[in-house]
Amino acid sequence: MLLDKHFESHSYSFWHLFKDDQKNILDQVLSQTMESVESDFQQIYDNNYPLISAIKTYGMKLPRPLQTTVDYIVNTRLLREFKSEKPDTNEIKRLLTEVQRMNVRLNYTRLEFALTQRIDQLMKQVQENPTKTENIDLLIKLLEVVESSKLETDFWQAQNIAFRMQQDSYEEMRQHADKGDGQATKWCEKFEKLYNNLNLKV
């Protein structure tokens, strides 16, 4: 047991420690355990994916252990992408396709919270550096990819930021665009698309 190994070289045990120290050690051991569990699930998933895919293609029901494996891997990968500073929208799209195809049971609470946080954070980055269009492009793609999923998110913070930007940054760029500035025109087009994807109207 990992907890026992942690104290092999010590003359005291886990139960001799203060509760805060106990919690810190439990967190460390749990983290190591979860990494091992994920690795085991990943190996089962990779080794049996052709079988899993064939079973679903023929409309058969996956045995519970295999379905549990698929559920765990897809949820874990989606959560990792949503927590990433630069989510891979192609990977998210692929995983959401797997959700439909494999009847994956999603952990909506964790995924929706992580997705909302990521969109809010990306929107803050857009506000801090409006001319960096890579962040706008990423947000547009991310919102488009998750739109057709069953994930329900609350974008009110991102919407508030976008609304404020529409009143200042967008209006300033719009004036430049009206004077024939091509770069400003492209920026306005991107911002309008993002604004629309956040269910707002310019």
Specify the DSSP element, H or E, that contains 16: none
Between CA 73 and CA 150 the distance in angstroms is 18
pLDDT at 166: 93
Query: Taking all residues of the chain, what is their mean pLDDT, rounded to a whole number?
Result: 88
- As given in the structure block, the two tokens for residue 187 are 């920026």
47 near 75, Cβ under 8 Å? no
Judged against a pLDDT cut of 70, whether residue 124 lies above it is answered with yes
For 11, 89, 129, 130, the CA distances from 141, given in Å and listed in that order, are 56, 7, 18, 17
Q: Which residue has the higher pLDDT, 109 or 25?
A: 109
What size, in residues, is the chain? 202
For 71, 73, 88, 92, 126, the CA distances from 95, given in Å and listed in that order, are 11, 10, 11, 5, 26
Report yes or no on whether pTM surpasses 0.85. no
Cα angle for residues 73, 75, 80 (degrees, 5° grid) = 95
Instruction: Categorize the per-residue pLDDT at 152 as very low, low, confident or very high, splitting at 50, 70 and 90.
Output: confident
pLDDT at 172: 93
HSE at residue 194, side-chain half, CA atoms within 13 A, is: 32
What share of the chain has pLDDT > 70, as a percent?
89
**pLDDT tens, 12-61?**
565 656 677 667 777 777 777 777 888 888 899 999 999 999 998 888 99
**pLDDT tens, 53-97?**
999 888 899 999 999 999 999 999 999 999 999 999 999 999 999
For 33, 37, 139, 200, the CA distances from 40, given in Å and listed in that order, are 11, 5, 33, 44
Judged against a pLDDT cut of 80, whether residue 189 lies above it is answered with yes
- As given in the structure block, the two tokens for residue 54 are 């064939």
Judged against a pLDDT cut of 60, whether residue 193 lies above it is answered with yes
Amino acid sitting at position 202: V
Residue 6 DSSP one-character state: H
